[in-house]
Amino acid sequence: MTLDPTLFAHSHPSNISVLNLPNGSSVPIDSTGTILFNKDIVLHDVFHVPSFRLNLLSASKITKSIHCCVILFPNFCILQDLATGKMIGWGKQSGGLYFMSPARKSPTTCSTTTTNTTWHYRLGHPSPNRLRSISKFFPITNNQFSNNCNICPLAKQTRLPFQCSTISSTLPFQLIHYNIWGPHKHTTHLGAHYSSLSMMILIIAHGYFLCHINLMIQNCS
């Protein structure tokens, strides 16, 4: 039973003209209709009683009509679908009654703006070209993507950078840095694999001079 006619999805004249109350008095029934309480609860044969001050919902009627159970707690109650176990409604307790709020006919929607950097993180750090391709099919904010991610260069490195060295030299050829790389995964047209030996020699002579030597060594194995 409801006092608000705007809650009805559709209504029609009622076959019952009056409603008998427990105190012995009677109140007129204006019409009968259907209320879309929420997406899971549809109430049929609801009486419109203008003289009521509250909207009343019978636990016995609703459990039979939509095949659910009502679980009462000290401060709230929930409606649970018997087939799926899903909670389809709930209400708060106040003054010995449980109050449930129906869904509004015009629900409010909200939207948030997600930056391109957030999409870059969510999609697994794709390149700007990949993000531009994705933006053609999905509503990403815009197609202007910057490449200022600090994680991408570190993820593409095979090893972490070297730490700063405090070693210094005072004589020629006292400090030599070398790095051996290879063999290369691609062969030459003669079928040889090459390795590289890089050497950096710090020569002390009238100041500082850095010499870099790169030797290509053939590896036939």
According to DSSP, residue 128 is labeled H
CA distances from 49 to 12, 55, 137, 192 (A): 13, 9, 52, 95
What is the average pLDDT across 104-127? 70
Residues 72-114: pLDDT tens digits?
A: 999 999 999 998 888 888 889 998 889 987 655 455 566 666 7
Q: Where is 162: in which H helix or E strand?
A: none
In this model, does residue 123 exceed pLDDT 70? yes
What is the CB neighbour count within 10 angstroms for residue 81?
16
